[in-house]
Amino acid sequence: MGEIKLASRMATMKESATLALNARAKQLAAEGKTIHNLTAGELATDTPDYIQAAVAQKLQHNKYTPVAGLMELREAIAQHSREFYGLGWIKAENVVVTAGAKPAIAASLVALLDADDEVIVPTPAWTVSYKPLIELAGGHMVEVPLTAELDLDVQAIEAAITTKTKAIIVNSPNNPTGTVYSTAAVGQLAQALQNKNITVIADDIYTKLVFDEGFSAVPTAGFENLIIINGLSKSQALTGWRIGYLIATTAVAEATTSLLSHITGNAPLPSQYAGLAAMERNDQPPTSTLDDLRRKRLLVSAGLTDAGINFQMPGGAFYFLLDLRDFTDDGAKWCEELLVDAGVALVPGDAFGAPGYARLTFVADDSTLQSALSQIKKFVKGTS
């Protein structure tokens, strides 16, 4: 075989750091090492029974659907989202069903960006995939740090806006911090973006996993130009089924549909039926999922405090962002040593625009979390 020369755009395209670390932790476990793998960005629970039952009845269906999804599903998502966000403009024609949230983000960026356009990303954030997707669409990511409380820094965002700024990606609850942006800051951002023709891409994939009262989702803030990204990966533990959607103006919905018609075509049909079943229940996660996460959040916060590690209490999703700066100048090296010496896999913050930090996912069972926390404590006491 000759050597196939890759396009220059692939030079900076690396496999998702979170997926790569998950694979490495699994490989070490397969070699017989005891590994507490706290890297994966997915719930540990099985597919909810009601979704399995609904899809099982549809397995005889096997044909292409319209690229933007079954009309009944688009209608169900539109109705649910109108009520959830209180946004009356959302109709079926504004909804495009996709094979997971990732293609929804990718298609939105390709549809929006011209060469060298800028996309502001308040960080820490899921730059793991935002950056390569922005660059694939020909743009540049502009990172703007969150405040010390991990809220949006609207002044800093305003200062970062240039004539090239096309969009800003806002993700709340946030991956990797788990924090929820304040209603006040999101409202100020909506004010600051008035008449600026900048599109807010609200990555709402974790909006159904919120632990405390008083949550107000980003899209409710009254942004003029808005694309909502969502899906069932996190709310219904369906990461492997690949089902998500975007909600936007009809022009954006049509453009992204055209694009996806040449890439994925429609989202997998069984997963669309799963979506229909979920929408009939307002895409509410099982109560046991939320209760479980609330309990584990307390368990982990107590363990981290005991280990002397700084963090902010997450308000949603299933992540803690550990501040390692008291222990090391090199968070990635610290994580590598933690994995090899203590058998605990975390994701270094570098992947999220947060060097000196590490992300811990708290979906594992209680005994794994407890044992991981005690390993982390021993490791910290040995290195600090």
**Contact between 102 and ligand PLP per CB under 6 A:** yes
Write down the least CB distance from residue 360 to ligand PLP, Å: 14
Do 353 and 123 form a contact (C-beta atoms < 8 A)? Answer: yes
Which of residues 181 and 379 has its CB atom nearest to ligand PLP in the complex? 181
Write down the least CB distance from residue 200 to ligand PLP, Å: 15
Among 78, 101, 109, 345, binds ligand PLP (CB under 6 A): 101
Q: Which long-range contacts (CB under 8 A, 24 or more apart) does 233-236 make?
A: 233/42, 233/100, 233/101, 233/205, 234/42, 234/43, 234/205, 234/206, 234/208, 234/209, 234/317, 235/208, 235/209, 235/278, 235/283, 235/284, 235/285, 236/47, 236/48, 236/51, 236/274, 236/278, 236/283, 236/285
Among 139, 244, 349, 353, binds ligand PLP (CB under 6 A): 244
Helices (H) and strands (E) in the chain, counts: 12, 12
> Hey, which residues does 229 pair with through a beta bridge?
203, 246
**Contact between 231 and ligand PLP per CB under 6 A:** yes
Write down the least CB distance from residue 2 to ligand PLP, Å: 35
Stretch that binds ligand PLP, among 28-36, 100-108, 148-156, 351-359 (CB under 6 A): 100-108
Stretch that binds ligand PLP, among 94-102, 146-154, 306-314, 335-343 (CB under 6 A): 94-102
Pick from 225, 366, 203: which is nearest to 295 by CA? 366
Number of residues that bind ligand PLP (CB under 6 A): 13
Write down the least CB distance from residue 209 to ligand PLP, Å: 11
Torsions phi, psi for 169 (to 5 deg): -100, 120
Torsions phi, psi for 109 (to 5 deg): -65, -45
Write down the least CB distance from residue 246 to ligand PLP, Å: 11
User: Cα–Cα distance between 129 and 136 in angstroms, integer?
Assistant: 11
Residues between 175 and 194 with contacts to ligand PLP, criterion CB under 6 A: 175
Among 48, 69, 100, 275, binds ligand PLP (CB under 6 A): 100
User: Cα–Cα distance between 101 and 205 in angstroms, integer?
Assistant: 7
Write down the least CB distance from residue 308 to ligand PLP, Å: 28
User: Cα–Cα distance between 181 and 189 in angstroms, integer?
Assistant: 11
Q: Which residue has the tokens 């979170």?
A: 18
Residue nearest ligand PLP by beta-carbon distance: 100
**Exposed (0-12), middle (13-18) or buried (19+): which is 262, by Cβ within 10 Å?**
exposed
Contact code string over 12-51 relative to ligand PLP, x by CB under 6 A: -----------------------------x----------
Stretch that binds ligand PLP, among 97-105, 258-266, 299-307, 368-376 (CB under 6 A): 97-105
Write down the least CB distance from residue 233 to ligand PLP, Å: 3
- SS3 label, residue 345: strand
Do 364 and 36 form a contact (C-beta atoms < 8 A)? Answer: yes
**Contact between 315 and ligand PLP per CB under 6 A:** no
- SS3 label, residue 96: strand
Write down the least CB distance from residue 42 to ligand PLP, Å: 7
Contact code string over 137-166 relative to ligand PLP, x by CB under 6 A: ------------------------------
Which of residues 231 and 331 has its CB atom nearest to ligand PLP in the complex? 231
Pick from 334, 326, 379, 380: which is nearest to 359 by CA? 334
What is the DSSP code string of 99-146? SSHHHHHHHHHHHHPPTT-EEEEEESS-HHHHHHHHHHTT-EEEEEEP
Write down the least CB distance from residue 139 to ligand PLP, Å: 18
Stretch that binds ligand PLP, among 51-59, 68-76, 231-239, 289-297 (CB under 6 A): 231-239
**Contact between 131 and ligand PLP per CB under 6 A:** no
Which of residues 188 and 271 has its CB atom nearest to ligand PLP in the complex? 271
User: Cα–Cα distance between 161 and 166 in angstroms, integer?
Assistant: 9
**Contact between 126 and ligand PLP per CB under 6 A:** yes
Give contact residues for ligand PLP (rule: CB under 6 A). Answer: 41, 100-102, 126, 171, 175, 203, 205, 231, 233, 239, 244
